[in-house]
Amino acid sequence: MKFLSIIVLLLATPFITTAQFSGAQRQMNAANQMNRQQNQMFMQMQQQQRLLINNRNGSETIESKLAKENKKIAKLQEKSQLQEANLAIQNQELADLKNNGKTLSEKTNKKMVNNAEKKIEKSQDQLNKINENIDSRNLKVAAYTKQVEQLNLEKEELEKKQQAEKKLKKDEKEKKIEIKKNKKSSQN
């Protein structure tokens, strides 16, 4: 009888240890899975924080470029107004030369009129270049403004996502605390 009970005990030992081991293994797997989830959420939050910082830096850079472009546009507009005033004066001088040409010799008058027309032409070309430059800068300003708006939208989306994940993490912590309380109360 002793011999039979020893054999039964030896045969049953692997099953008993396996049953105990599988319960411990399940707990370890659950703990490992929970740790993986926490690590993954932590890494996601870090990545989102990096994205927010990059977004903020990019936004600040673009806003500074935008401010510089606006200053350049203001200077160019002043230059354009001065050039227009200069052009108006030159046109007035040309008109005066044409009207007063009767008193001067024809050769001298023609030379003076030609020189005045060349000056007016150069001034008009400069004015056109300034206006083209203003238009190109306005396009840059519009592009920068669009980029800033897009970055602000992305920033808002990231912040919302980050808040949602923080809330999710908080809820998970609360569930873990409740589970631990339930285990303690069921063990008592």
Is 24 a residue whose pLDDT tops 70? no
Residue 129 has what pLDDT?
A: 94
Is 142 a residue whose pLDDT tops 90? yes
Residue 188 has what pLDDT?
A: 60
Is 156 a residue whose pLDDT tops 70? yes
Stated pTM of the model: 0.58
Average pLDDT of the segment spanning 60-73: 88
Average pLDDT of the segment spanning 148-162: 86
Residue 138 has what pLDDT?
A: 93
For residue 48, what pLDDT band results from cuts at 50, 70 and 90?
Answer: confident
Is 21 a residue whose pLDDT tops 60? no
Q: Please answer whether residues 62 and 99 qualify as being in contact, where contact means their C-beta atoms are separated by less than 8 angstroms.
A: no
Cα–Cα nearest to 152, from 75, 27, 59:
59
Q: Give the lowest-confidence range in 6-20, 81-95, 135-149.
A: 6-20
User: Crossing angle of helices 106-187/2-99, nearest 10°?
Assistant: 160
Is 130 a residue whose pLDDT tops 80? yes
Q: 69: how many CB neighbours lie within 10 A of its CB?
A: 20
> In the chain, what are the domain boundaries?
66-163
